[in-house]
Amino acid sequence: MAAKEEWSISDFEIGKFIGEGKFGKVYLAREKQSGYVVALKVIFKAKLEKYRSHAHLRREIEIQHGLNHPNVLRLFAWFHDETRVFLVLEYAARGELYKLLKSLHHFSEKRAATYVSSLAGALAYCHEKHVIHRDIKPENLLLDIEGRLKIADFGWAVQSNAKRHTMCGTIDYLAPEMVEKKEHDHAVDNWTLGILCYEFLYGVPPFEAEDEYGTFRSPAVSVEAKDLICKLLVKDSSKRLSLQKILKHPWIVTHADPSGSCCD
């Protein structure tokens, strides 16, 4: 989409409603001059005021707008009028990964490894930019028309070199140091990647198992996949497998599609 100093709602043809969040709605839209199709997120200022979330949104915009990676949903631009804030986002035509996981119940090792590889690469890029996402979960992952994964929703992300103390995110995916309200760093994203790897393969997060024997349940999963999960779900954050080593792990090398595309 072409760069422009100032945008307004008149620059877009608004199409169908495609989603809704806490603060507003998302519509399919077309930028009139270029014909480029985008997702237009409309956020109501009254709701931002109600939940005192202006600074939260400002931080999210600043972080996401500064990121440019194939597996991170692009934020092209933003603008506002008297009552609304508009975010011009990359359109991910295949929608939420969460819905695909629920419909398939669990993913094949090829699909799971491809998504984990894509996530590891995107998170490594974010961490190089000193961005910690802190809320990676299936609901915050989208798929484009070619089935490539996109990290979306940077609402809990932070950009800082310093260790953090804020407990945030979603309970099933929280790293131990966050649960224990200890300081944390980028390694919380590595923990979450281990949770997601498990959930992709088994259909539910690991700690929803009813007993100790339910943790590694059917369907059958390879020893290599279990090895990767175990090396990520380590309580000591300094001993978790690095994102670079995830990309070189035998399970990823064997199963992940280098193109990052999953359209089967």
> What is the residue extent of each domain of the chain?
10-90, 96-255
Taking the mean position of all CA atoms in its chain, how far away is CA 21? 15
Whether residue 180 is predicted with pLDDT greater than 70 in this model: the reply is no
Catalytic residue among 11, 81, 135, 211: 135
> CATH number of the domain at 96-255, out of 3.40.228.10, 1.10.10.410, 1.10.510.10, 3.30.70.2860?
1.10.510.10
Distances (CA, A) of 115 to 98, 106, 162: 12, 13, 29
The number of C-alpha atoms within 13 Å of 23 and in the hemisphere containing its C-beta is: 23
The stretch 184-195 carries a mean pLDDT of 92
Range in 70-84, 131-145, 176-190, 200-214 the model is least confident about? 200-214
The stretch 210-229 carries a mean pLDDT of 75
> What are the pLDDT digits (tens) for 34-69?
999 999 999 999 999 988 898 889 999 999 999 999
Question: What pLDDT was estimated at residue 5?
Answer: 78
What is 10-90's CATH topology? Answer: Phosphorylase Kinase; domain 1 (3.30.200)
> What are the pLDDT digits (tens) for 74-116?
999 999 999 999 999 999 999 999 999 999 999 999 999 999 9
172 is catalytic: no
Do β-strands 149-151 and 141-143 pair in parallel, antiparallel, or remain unpaired? Answer: antiparallel
Residue list, annotated binding site for ATP:
22, 41, 45, 90-92, 139-140, 153
Whether residue 126 is predicted with pLDDT greater than 50 in this model: the reply is yes
Residue list, annotated binding site:
22, 41, 45, 90-92, 139-140, 153
Report whether 24 contacts 43 (CB < 8 A). Answer: yes
